[in-house]
């Protein structure tokens, strides 16, 4: 494998599972020093151990914890070159505008959107000092189109991530900091499996809308993240990067 990320320091949130875990493996294979952040101690530590990186247990909704995780990365490895702001949760049950309660709504915004605000807020000053950096924020294809399933709080949170990424990408471009939104289609991870376990027909409803006729594997998303993190995407910022099996093109 090419070593496009040789010597770069990457902080990945939600690194214990799914897309984050696959990306931690991919980044390490491409030569990066990886800081694996997760709320779940067991899976996060396991991921860090596997990729020869560092584990930081943090709740990405906790401002002090987010600030500290980047400081830990700098203390351990000297910089923060890549921030993959990826931790997130699935929609609550029956996530319709008519049924989702205010507390459930707020929780999804906090974990999926406020977390990205905090991660950008505390990663960017390190990158400003370095005069360079790449931030990838995980949104979703539902940020750009309505879904076949009702998930109002989730879609709204991801739309916020997309808008914020564009805004920040434009604002910090002249400082050498690239900020892109990653918009995966449905990916075969514990998050999706949990949704399908609750509502088995949801999988079939989803598949109808995916031209490639299947769900993505986490490694296919990790390959896209590695591209966005590397200099191969050096002329891309404020971008809506869809990796969705053709859903948005259909």
Active site residues: 154
What is d(CA 110, CA 208) in angstroms, rounded to the nearest whole number? 31
What is d(CA 191, CA 223) in angstroms, rounded to the nearest whole number? 19
Site pattern 203..242 for ligand NAI (x: CB under 6 A): ----------------------------------------
Nearest Cα to Cα of residue 20 among 124, 160, 152, 119: 119
Q: How far is the CB of 109 from ligand NAI (least distance, A)?
A: 12
Using the contact rule CB under 6 A, the part of the chain among 2-10, 69-77, 121-129, 183-191 near ligand NAI is: 183-191
23 binds ligand NAI (CB under 6 A): no
59 binds ligand NAI (CB under 6 A): yes
Half-sphere exposure in the Cβ direction for 224 (13 Å, CA): 23
Alpha helices in the chain (DSSP H): 18-29, 41-51, 63-77, 102-109, 115-130, 152-172, 190-198, 201-207, 218-229
Tell me how far apart the terminal alpha carbons of the chain are, to the nearest angstrom. Answer: 33
14 binds ligand NAI (CB under 6 A): yes
38 binds ligand NAI (CB under 6 A): yes
Q: How far is the CB of 210 from ligand NAI (least distance, A)?
A: 11
Which parts of this chain interact with ligand NAI (CB under 6 A)?
A: 13-14, 16-20, 38-40, 43, 59-61, 86-89, 111, 138, 140, 184, 186-187, 189-192
């Amino acid at each position: 494998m090419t070593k496009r990320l040789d010597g770069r320091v990457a902080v990945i949130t939600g690194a214990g599972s799914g897309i984050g875990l696959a990306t931690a493996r991919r980044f390490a294979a491409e030569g990066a020093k990886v800081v694996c952040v997760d709320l779940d101690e067991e899976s996060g530590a396991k991921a860090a151990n596997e990729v020869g990186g560092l584990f930081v247990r943090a709740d990405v909704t906790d401002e002090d914890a987010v600030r500290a995780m980047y400081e830990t990365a700098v203390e351990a490895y000297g910089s923060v070159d890549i921030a993959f702001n990826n931790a997130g949760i699935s929609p609550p049950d029956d996530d319709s505008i008519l049924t989702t309660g205010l507390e459930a709504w707020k929780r999804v915004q906090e974990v999926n959107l406020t977390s990205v605000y905090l991660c950008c807020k505390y990663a960017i000053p390190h990158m400003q000092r370095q005069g360079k950096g790449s931030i990838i924020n995980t949104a979703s294809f539902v940020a750009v189109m309505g879904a076949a399933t009702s998930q109002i709080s989730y879609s709204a949170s991801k739309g916020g991530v997309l808008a914020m990424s564009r805004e920040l990408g434009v604002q910090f471009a002249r400082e050498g900091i690239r900020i892109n939104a990653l918009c995966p289609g449905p990916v075969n991870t514990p998050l999706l499996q949990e949704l399908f376990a609750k509502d088995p027909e949801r999988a079939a409803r989803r598949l109808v809308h995916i031209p490639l006729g299947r769900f993505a594997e986490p490694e296919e998303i990790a390959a896209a993240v590695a591209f966005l993190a590397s200099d191969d995407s050096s002329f891309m910022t404020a971008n809506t990067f869809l990796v969705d099996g053709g859903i948005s093109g259909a």
